Amino acid sequence: MSKKFSIDQGWSLFLDRDGVINQRIPDDYVKQPDEFEFIPGVTQALKIFTGIFSPIIVITNQQGIGKGLMTDSKLNLIHEKMLQKVAENGGRIDAVFYSPDLKNTGSFTRKPSVGSGLKARKQFPEINFKRSIMAGDTYSDILFGYRLGMVTVLIGTDKEVAFQCSGILDYSFPDLISFAEYLKKNLLVKD
């Protein structure tokens, strides 16, 4: 765990979706709103983050669209459900950026490429990547954050991913609520 930092309201938070916010479906994709299931503690974590970060951005690869397994409009319904539930629990997500492109296309918007991060900064000019955190559960998430100069946070307990990320990883937590509680405790953030 390398980077030491102190956070104020000028910091931004970038989050991956599948495996961080919602349960990942093994060898499949969340294709319908009723398949979207929050990981325990995530809505509570987002409520805590809402008091710390501005903005909060989700960056997600959704190649299920590129494979023809779902549509952009179906994905938008899934994200509407996510945003509504987060808001109902006192949290917020300011924007969701997704890449529908297939893994092997070399897409600039697909993590670990940085295009979605640059699109987010264009929409939110206050974003300073040096004052941003990327939290994700895969090597491509961590590499995306590292390439943009962010503080990188691995979410999950996969030792193989943690090993893969060594050298570019700053912090690691078993889940999003553990990360939120760590920030709350160490920043003395009020509810």
- Answer whether residue 89 is part of any domain: yes
Amino acid at position 31, single letter: K
- Answer whether residue 135 is part of any domain: yes
Each of the 191 residues of the chain gets a pLDDT tens digit; together they read: 455 667 777 899 999 999 999 999 999 999 999 999 999 999 999 999 999 999 999 999 999 999 999 999 999 999 999 999 999 999 999 999 999 999 989 899 999 999 999 999 999 999 999 999 999 999 999 999 999 999 999 999 999 999 999 999 999 999 999 999 999 888 744 44
Active site (catalytic) residues: 16, 18
- Answer whether residue 142 is part of any domain: yes
Find residue 55's DSSP bridge partners: none
- Answer whether residue 122 is part of any domain: yes
Task: Write down the pLDDT at residue 1.
Answer: 47
Domain CATH number, residue 111: 3.40.50.1000
Q: What are the tokens at 33?
A: 């709103």
Sheet with 151-155: strands ordered across: 95-99, 56-61, 12-15, 132-136, 151-155, 171-173
The structural domain count of the chain equals 1
- Answer whether residue 6 is part of any domain: no
- Answer whether residue 7 is part of any domain: no
- Answer whether residue 106 is part of any domain: yes
- Answer whether residue 137 is part of any domain: yes
